[in-house]
Chains A and B, each alone.
Chain A
Amino acid sequence: MGIEDIFANPLLLNILINFAVGLIVTISLNLEVGFADIPQFGRVLTVLMGALVAGGITGRIVASIYGKPSGVEYANHLINYKLVDELSRLLAQSPTLSITMLVLTLIIAAILGGIVGYLCSYPALRLEEAYLGITLLAFGDVLQLVVWNYDPIAGGTEGVMIPDVFRWIGTGPVRFVGATFIILGIALLVFAYAERIARSPFGRSLKAMRDAPLAAEVYGKDIVALRARVLIIGGALAAMGGALWALYTGSFKAVSYSRLTWTFWPWAYMMLGGTGNNVGMLVGVLVFSIVRTLIYTYKDLIGSVIPINPNWLEYMLVGLVIIAISLFRPQGLLPEKPVFALPRKKIEKIRKAVLGENIEESEAKES
């Protein structure tokens, strides 16, 4: 039994892919909500933007490289599925092009997501909490509705298929295992990047702005620039998450990018993990991915025990978790801790170097 056979277990694979994509989106949400205190109830907006890049742009680029139709007719569902099937087979023979397309999709998604995030910073500066949250929520719904109804971009209600940029890895389960690990790798990179932000002067300015905007301004922090920057970064990361999900599933349909799945669930993950703490996101997303995948996988079994549709059970469960967290542990499983700019050992070393021999003396004084 090879390693791919172990991971080809659909249960494990589902948990891993849900974890990876969920982590990217939740980290981006945490940057905006946890670090910058922006009530981002429109996370789906940039996620959908990224998925739209994968659905509407990636395929067209591939099609034009191979000299196939890439205009409005590309999104016609009668043409699209045949065309994409052909493109996927061509892509499978060219790993270089596949990887280039993956990277290119992520770059375009990040740029467009960043632009959308920047546009959101205009209301974000003018409106107060509830007003802003609902405005962002409305933005997400507007984009979903437009993509759902307007066929030429990405097939409207029929959706589009996406040329498979992962098929060069292998066929059947091997493709899914490979794709999952690539996406997981990207998710961990995103996590490392978010941790870097947390330890950077930028991250500390964000938290200063969150805790006391007036004081931060007094210290010369530009609130406008900080908010715009975090919205750009958050938007870009979320768009990458959306693009990766669309590339992994190999299809795009606006209806699957609802505010429930891509805004409220990441909020629940974030609250469970501990708002403001990146490590908490790992825990929150992992717990939820496991539970949701288990419910999904054992639907029929659950259905035979409890006489209700397990779909609704999932809603009840997520609802109960959200309520329980807000009632009993509002700080989440792993509450936010002060972040040191340097590793602790280094700080101790510097402290020793500065205080020299007197260190024991001063410690004695302190205690």
Chain B
Amino acid sequence: MIEIFTRAIAYSGGIALAAAGITLIYMATGTFNFAHASKVAWGFYIVYAMMSLLGGSPYYYVIPAALFSAFLGFVTYFFVNRYLLKRKADMVTLMMSTLGVDLIFFAFLNVFADYLTEVYKLSARYFVMELKDPIIMRMGATEIRAVPVVSFISVILVTIGIYLFMTRTNFGIAMRTTIENPELAQVLGINPEKIYLAAWLLGGGMAGLSGAFLSLTISGYPSVGMTILVTLFAGSIVGGLDSIIASILGGFLIGMVEQLGTYSLSVALGGWICAYRPIIPMVAMVITLLFFPRGLATIDWKKVLGKLGVKI
């Protein structure tokens, strides 16, 4: 039971980080980023490849993974998104252009995996790294590995970091201004291109971080990003695309629902339900959206509590 819970926390932390990246990029540039799938998958592969070739703890390579995915974010912005934003392209064009970018990153990831397989004889097309994660605690028969703790702490640090960045630094305030009203921000002398670039870098970095933590939780293969993409979207959307903090919570919630929901359903109904695991976050997302079409962030909690008779 503890094992399932810690696993769920590690997984949810990863989903929350990636979902926050999607929301950050969406808020700043209005682009709903399909390329996040490959950025997360590249996070998996950077950790895997560097650890296999250079040795050592997987945690040494978390930062390189984040940096590489931030670089991919930069590439997406610099070569594609920048021009579309300048042209004020509509949302579907922005979305589809990131799909094109995603296909290219995905193709290169496959080439990279083939290269690792052929040249270094690694089984790079499918790998499990859970056992490389150091054990930090034993509780009777259950071993607790480091990734749940690291992932959870990272999520909290990122949340606090984003909060402080957005409310206490000049750059963060400039970012919020640009998100609220790009024209007015420009009048005040804020360069929106810097803000967009920062969003792509930060969002990409979070995707890489997410991939690094997820690689110690679930098995890795080139299309892993495409597989969990819907879960990432679900996390970002359930929280609501209007707030980064909300999407971190949304992502965490979706991850927990997926892991613990599958576990409790499998206890109640039998193991066959495990095959349908990816459906659970999607169903959770659809149900949430049918009641709150713009995500959980838009719920007016005062009103809800007022209805329940609680006074604040």
A residues within 8 Å of B by Cβ? Answer: 33, 39, 123, 126-131, 133-135, 137-139, 141-142, 145-146, 149, 260, 264, 267-268, 271, 308-309, 311-313, 315-316, 318-323, 326-327, 330
B101-120 near A? 1/0 per residue, CB < 8 Å: 11110111011001000000
The smallest C-beta distance from B284 to any residue of chain A, in angstroms, reads: 10
The one of A127, A141, A260, A309 in contact with B289, judged by C-beta atoms closer than 8 angstroms, is A127
B262-299 near A? 1/0 per residue, CB < 8 Å: 00000000000001101100110110011001110000
Q: A146-B279, A319-B102, A326-B96 are in contact. Are A138 and B286 (CB under 8 A)?
A: yes
CB of B92 closer than 8 Å to a CB of A: yes
Interchain residue pairs with CB less than 8 A apart (12): A130-B95, A134-B233, A134-B285, A138-B230, A138-B285, A139-B286, A145-B278, A315-B103, A318-B100, A322-B96, A326-B84, A330-B89
Closest B residue to A312 using CB positions: B107
CB of B65 closer than 8 Å to a CB of A: no
The one of B103, B282, B294 in contact with A322, judged by C-beta atoms closer than 8 angstroms, is B103
Residues of B contacting A316 with CB < 8 Å? 103-104, 107-108
Q: A123-B290, A267-B96, A322-B97 are in contact. Are A308 and B114 (CB under 8 A)?
A: yes
Q: Is the beta-carbon distance between A309 and B114 smaller than 8 angstroms?
A: yes
Closest A residue to B32 using CB positions: A130
Cα separation A309 to B110 with both chains bound (whole Å):
9
B contact face: mostly helix, strand, loop, or mixed: helix
Q: Is the beta-carbon distance between A311 and B110 smaller than 8 angstroms?
A: yes
Q: Is the beta-carbon distance between B276 and A145 smaller than 8 angstroms?
A: yes
Residues of B contacting A327 with CB < 8 Å? 80, 83-84, 97
Cα separation A128 to B26 with both chains bound (whole Å):
14
B residues within 8 Å of A by Cβ? Answer: 26, 32, 80, 83-84, 89, 91-93, 95-97, 99-104, 106-108, 110-111, 114, 226, 230, 233-234, 237, 241, 275-276, 278-279, 282-283, 285-286, 289-290, 293-295
Cα separation A69 to B211 with both chains bound (whole Å):
48
Q: Is the beta-carbon distance between B92 and A129 smaller than 8 angstroms?
A: yes
Q: Is the beta-carbon distance between B89 and A326 smaller than 8 angstroms?
A: yes
Residues of B contacting A130 with CB < 8 Å? 26, 32, 91, 95, 237, 241
CB within 8 Å: A-B pair count: 128
Q: A138-B230, A260-B226, A308-B114 are in contact. Are A330 and B93 (CB under 8 A)?
A: yes
Q: A128-B294, A135-B289 are in contact. Are A319 and B100 (CB under 8 A)?
A: yes
Cα separation A227 to B182 with both chains bound (whole Å):
33
Q: Is the beta-carbon distance between B283 and A142 smaller than 8 angstroms?
A: yes
The smallest C-beta distance from B295 to any residue of chain A, in angstroms, reads: 8
Cα separation A327 to B83 with both chains bound (whole Å):
7
Cα separation A315 to B278 with both chains bound (whole Å):
25
Residues of B contacting A39 with CB < 8 Å? 91-92, 95
Q: Is the beta-carbon distance between B111 and A126 smaller than 8 angstroms?
A: no
Q: Is the beta-carbon distance between A133 and B110 smaller than 8 angstroms?
A: no
Residues of A contacting B97 with CB < 8 Å? 322-323, 326-327
4 extra interchain contacts, Cβ-Cβ under 8 A, other than A123-B286, A128-B294, A135-B285?
A131-B241, A312-B107, A316-B107, A322-B97
Cα separation A196 to B2 with both chains bound (whole Å):
62
The one of A123, A133, A149, A321 in contact with B95, judged by C-beta atoms closer than 8 angstroms, is A133
Residues of A contacting B106 with CB < 8 Å? 315, 319
Residues of B contacting A319 with CB < 8 Å? 99-104, 106-107
Cα separation A311 to B106 with both chains bound (whole Å):
11
Which 7 pairs of residues, A with B, have the shortest CB-CB distance?
A322-B100, A319-B103, A315-B107, A323-B100, A319-B104, A312-B107, A138-B282
The smallest C-beta distance from B42 to any residue of chain A, in angstroms, reads: 15
Cα separation A193 to B110 with both chains bound (whole Å):
41
Residues of B contacting A128 with CB < 8 Å? 293-294
